[in-house]
């Protein structure tokens, strides 16, 4: 029979083999995440990302092995509450201001190729003292994209 009943189409398909997480945390694993539960998979990917970013720059406040241990998801409502660390509150906020007029720009600031942040009036390179050399970069890109082609010499008889 090629036709399926409505019950068969809407029935929830349960996998026949349920595998536990490979890290033995007691939660079911997912084949899409290499048979790891979501917590273990996120912990391994953040640990890998943190170790690669730590090799490029050192950040003493973050540890790559911070969430290396995996535990089953907690169901109590008190476990979801996160206490605010007073040391993290004292971090200085970066105020985005235009480098030309010191006007607050917030999210509407424009980052120039020279690395500075500018408002809408000073965003163009002729409106501020831009240290970026557009001519040299343009010449280098033209040289890179258009290599010199020399024809083979023709022997005259």
Find out whether 29 and 19 touch, Cβ atoms under 8 Å: yes
Q: Please tell me the distance from the alpha carbon of residue 3 to that of residue 13, in angstroms, as a whole number.
A: 18
Residue 78 belongs to some domain of the structure? no
**The domain that contains 139 carries what CATH number?**
4.10.1110.10
Residue 38 belongs to some domain of the structure? yes
Residue 34 belongs to some domain of the structure? yes
Residue 76 belongs to some domain of the structure? no
**What pLDDT, on the 0 to 100 scale, is given for residue 149?**
82
Q: What range defines the domain where residue 27 resides?
A: 16-49
**What pLDDT, on the 0 to 100 scale, is given for residue 68?**
46
Residue 85 belongs to some domain of the structure? no
Find out whether 9 and 42 touch, Cβ atoms under 8 Å: no
Find out whether 128 and 112 touch, Cβ atoms under 8 Å: yes
Give pTM, 2 decimals: 0.36
Number of domains observed in the structure of the chain: 2
Structure tokens, 55: 């090799």
pLDDT tens-digit profile of 84-129? 555 555 666 777 899 999 999 988 999 999 999 999 999 998 999 8
Residue 67 belongs to some domain of the structure? no
Q: Which residues contact 72 (CB under 8 A, 6 or more apart)?
A: 25, 26, 27, 37, 39
Greater confidence, 150 or 8?
150
Greater confidence, 3 or 86?
3
Q: What is the mean pLDDT of the chain?
A: 75
Residue 115 belongs to some domain of the structure? yes
pLDDT tens-digit profile of 15-44? 567 788 888 888 888 888 888 888 898 888
Alpha carbon of residue 62 to chain centroid = 17
Q: Which residues contact 46 (CB under 8 A, 6 or more apart)?
A: 67
pLDDT value at 138 more than 70: yes
Residue 110 belongs to some domain of the structure? yes
């Amino acid at each position: 029979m090629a036709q399926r009943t409505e019950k068969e189409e809407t029935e929830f398909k349960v996998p026949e083999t349920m595998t536990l997480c490979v890290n033995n945390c007691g939660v079911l694993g997912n084949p899409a995440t290499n048979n790891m539960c979501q917590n273990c998979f996120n912990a391994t990917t953040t640990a890998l990302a943190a170790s690669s970013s730590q090799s490029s720059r050192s950040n003493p406040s973050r540890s790559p092995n911070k969430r290396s241990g995996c535990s089953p998801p907690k169901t109590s409502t008190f476990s979801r509450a996160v206490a605010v660390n007073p040391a993290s509150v004292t971090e200085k906020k970066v105020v985005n201001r235009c480098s030309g007029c010191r006007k607050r720009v917030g999210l509407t600031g424009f980052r120039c190729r020279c690395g500075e942040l500018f408002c809408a009036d000073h965003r163009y390179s002729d409106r501020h003292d831009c240290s970026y050399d557009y001519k040299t970069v343009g010449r280098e890109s033209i040289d890179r994209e258009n290599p010199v082609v020399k024809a083979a010499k023709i022997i005259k008889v």
